[in-house]
């Protein structure tokens, strides 16, 4: 079996550094909330629908709470009071608030015990949603079994959820274990979740709760047909991280792209907003047993994959620590990395094996998500197909967890169904032909692969020491990751962050924290 000669003491050092870095950020998170996090509470309480102008009711209610200058206490208690006042259900009360029939500022005095009882009732419903989807996933795994790692992960991205559904079915019948619906370009910058089924996305399909439902139903049907558990993935990133996590839990999604720094670095979303929303989103994922996928592979699209490989490792360690803070178990941490070294580099394959094996040993229980070549893909589809074949070989040799199948037409157009078929045929062939490849060889302690892995780990440790000294937010400001500089008070969404008051209430978050990591 492939094994790098890494020192246990050094691994412990870098993990301790990462935990302390994450703890520094957690101190900030614990004191703050955001508009999106409050909207998430409403969604889990049962608020659904839009106004006559198409504004989602959760957005409208948080806006009204801000206008009433009550936001610092959170939405939970005022909304519970409003429900007591109206005697109506969650969505009906939301409509009454929108129409001005009830106002947050004019609820009057309601006995605290009654309010607390109503909050507990709403919280029980919310936690029930998360617990139900956790049990549904367990039942599917028991019924169909889990495929052996690496799981074959395939994307669909037509812009039309109904066409995506057709492509997803085709991919499942061709051998895919996981279907990822790529989100419409720049949806992460929308400070609301579009409503209903959508057919006109750009470079992907809008992430909406209805779209989640449509694809979930289709994949459940395919699972029955194939007697295999076909998992569904979407995106919980951007300005609505926690809200999308809530929608995903309601509709039984299995995985969500959810990274601690991706939105900051690549979408210029304010880091304070990102860290606050990410925490609540991950608490939801942990309770619902939704696997997160992190985005370290993106670093190598803006930075050199050899020179800055250590930033991937450092970020993975930080993502792991922040995930643990949010009660994510190791089997839910789909930490990301990528096969992105320039193919013109001599011994590219040895570099890639070194980096992949380093990640595998640093996170032995994590279902690592390994991404294919994209940056150096060519319009020569035969050459691209060879690159994907080498990528497939590294995946099976180092036993990655989640394998995003590469496309020969990556550099030409959005892949068609036949492109996906050829991609899966390549993957299936290599995984079968080299099934036990990694267990037949040993890594020389004084060889290229071992020395390269040690070099990357040493650089990652040095990076973490610097980040620990200045704090993660300052390190991001200084361009430590992806050669991208972001201001602590810049970017999109900062105005949606607020400091919690002494009487702040979010019973959902409090109960998840109190009950700890779930089996």
Per-residue pLDDT tens over the stretch 395-405: 999 999 999 99
- 3-state DSSP assignment of residue 56: strand
Mean pLDDT of 448-463: 98
Domains with residue ranges and CATH for the chain: 1-30+334-470 (3.20.20.440)
Say if CB 6 and CB 461 are below 8 A apart: no
Instruction: Return the pLDDT at 418.
Output: 86
Q: Check whether 235 has a pLDDT greater than 80.
A: yes
The mean pLDDT value of the chain amounts to 96
What per-residue string of b and e applies to 399-423 under the rule 16 or more CB within 10 Å gives b?
bbbbbbbbbbbbbeebbeeebbbbb
Tens-digit pLDDT profile for residues 304-341:
999 999 999 999 999 999 999 999 999 999 999 999 99
Taking CA atoms, 425 is separated from 13, 93, 148, 392, 477, in Å, by: 42, 53, 17, 11, 44
pLDDT for residue 179: 97
Percentage of the residues of the chain whose pLDDT score is greater than 90? 92
Specify the pLDDT at position 152: 97
Backbone torsions φ then ψ of 444, nearest 5 degrees: -65, 125
Residue 410 pLDDT > 90, yes or no?
no
Residue 492 vs residues 33, 238, 326: alpha-carbon distances, Å? 16, 9, 24
14: nearest Cα among 484, 396, 458? 458
Q: How many CB atoms neighbour CB 251 within 10 A?
A: 20
Assess whether pLDDT exceeds 90 at residue 413. no
**Predicted pLDDT of residue 44:** 98
Q: 435: exposed, middle or buried (C-beta count within 10 Å: 0-12, 13-18, 19+)?
A: exposed
Which of 29, 23, 487 lies closest to 265 in space, CA to CA? 487
Would the CA dihedral through 482, 484, 485, 490 be positive or negative? negative
At residue 519, does pLDDT exceed 80? no
The H-or-E segment that residue 151 falls in is: strand 151-156
pLDDT of residue 363: 98
DSSP state of 239: G
- The model's pLDDT over 95-122, given as tens digits with 9 standing for 90+, comes to 999 999 999 999 888 999 999 999 999 9
**pLDDT for residue 29 is more than 80:** yes
Give pLDDT, residue 415. 79
The confidence score (pLDDT) of residue 412 equals: 83
- Residue 52 pLDDT greater than 80, yes or no: yes
pLDDT in tens, 350-386: 999 999 999 999 999 999 999 999 999 989 999 999 9
User: Model-level pTM?
Assistant: 0.96
Partners of residue 402 on adjacent β-strands: 151, 369
User: What tokens appear for 269 in the block?
Assistant: 């979303």
Report percent pLDDT > 70 for the chain: 100
pLDDT at 339: 97
pLDDT of residue 159 exceeding 90, the answer is yes
Please write the tens of the pLDDT for every residue from 307-316.
999 999 999 9
Catalytic annotation, residues: 262, 297, 369
pLDDT of residue 250: 98
Q: How confident is the model at residue 416 (pLDDT cuts 50, 70, 90)?
A: confident
Displacement of CA 430 from its chain's centroid (Å):
28
DSSP sequence for 254-304: -EEE--SSHHHHHH-B-HHHHHHHHHHHHHHHHHHTPEEE--GGGHHHHS-
Count the Cβ atoms, other than its own, within 10 Å of residue 518.
14
Enter the tokens of residue 236.
């919980």
Using 50, 70 and 90 to split pLDDT, how confident is the model at 157?
A: confident
Which residue in the block uniquely carries the two structure tokens 């570099």? 351
pLDDT computed for residue 286 by the predictor = 97
What are 163-197's pLDDT values in tens digits? 999 999 999 999 999 999 999 999 999 999 999 99
Q: What is the mean pLDDT of the segment spanning 203-230?
A: 97
Q: Does position 417 have pLDDT exceeding 90, yes or no?
A: no
């Amino acid at each position: 079996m492939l094994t790098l000669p890494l020192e246990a003491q050094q691994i412990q050092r870098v993990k301790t550094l990462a935990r302390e870095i994450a703890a520094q950020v957690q101190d900030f998170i614990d004191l703050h909330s955001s508009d999106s996090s409050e909207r998430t509470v409403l969604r889990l309480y049962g608020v659904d629908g839009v106004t006559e102008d198409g504004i989602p009711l959760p957005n409208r209610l948080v806006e009204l709470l801000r206008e009433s200058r009550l936001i610092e206490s959170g939405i939970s208690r005022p909304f519970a009071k409003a429900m007591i006042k109206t005697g109506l259900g969650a969505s009906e009360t939301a409509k009454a608030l929108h129409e001005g029939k009830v106002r947050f500022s004019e609820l009057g005095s309601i006995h605290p015990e009654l309010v607390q009882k109503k909050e507990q009732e709403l919280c029980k419903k919310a936690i029930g949603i998360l617990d139900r989807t956790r049990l549904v996933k367990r039942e599917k795994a028991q019924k169909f079994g889990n495929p052996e790692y690496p799981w074959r992960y395939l994307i669909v991205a037509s812009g039309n959820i109904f066409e995506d559904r057709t492509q997803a079915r085709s991919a499942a019948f061709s051998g895919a274990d996981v279907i990822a619906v790529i989100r419409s370009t720049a949806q992460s910058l929308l400070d609301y979740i579009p409503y209903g089924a959508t057919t006109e996305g750009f470079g992907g399909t809008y992430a909406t709760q209805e779209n989640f439902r449509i694809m979930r139903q289709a994949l459940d049907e395919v699972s029955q047909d194939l007697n295999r558990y076909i998992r569904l993935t979407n995106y919980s990133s951007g300005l609505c991280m926690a809200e999308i996590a809530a929608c995903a839990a309601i509709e039984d999604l299995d995985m969500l792209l959810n990274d601690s720094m991706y939105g900051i670095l690549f979408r210029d979303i304010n880091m304070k907003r990102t860290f606050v929303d990410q925490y609540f989103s991950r608490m939801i994922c942990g309770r619902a047993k939704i696997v997160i996928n992190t985005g370290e592979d993106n670093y190598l699209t803006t930075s050199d994959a050899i020179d800055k490989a250590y930033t991937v490792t450092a970020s993975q360690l930080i993502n792991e620590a922040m995930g643990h803070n949010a009660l994510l178990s190791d089997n839910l941490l789909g930490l990301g990395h990528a096969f992105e070294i320039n193919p013109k580099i001599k011994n590219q394959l040895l570099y890639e094996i070194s980096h992949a094996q380093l990640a595998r040993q640093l996170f032995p229980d994590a279902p690592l998500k390994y991404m294919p070549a994209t940056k150096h893909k060519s319009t020569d589809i035969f050459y691209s197909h060879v690159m994907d074949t080498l990528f497939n070989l590294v995946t099976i040799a180092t036993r990655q967890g989640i394998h995003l199948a590469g496309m020969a037409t990556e550099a030409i157009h959005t892949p068609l169904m036949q492109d996906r078929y050829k991609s899966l045929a390549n993957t299936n062939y290599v995984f079968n032909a080299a099934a036990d490849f990694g267990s037949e060889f040993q890594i020389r302690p004084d060889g290229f692969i071992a020395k390269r892995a040690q070099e990357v780990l040493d650089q990652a440790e040095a990076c973490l020491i610097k980040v620990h000294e200045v704090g993660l937010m300052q390190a991001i400001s200084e361009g430590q990751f992806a050669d991208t500089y972001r201001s602590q008070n810049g970017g999109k969404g900062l105005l949606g962050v607020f400091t919690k008051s002494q009487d702040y209430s979010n019973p959902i978050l409090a109960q998840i924290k109190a009950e700890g990591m779930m089996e």
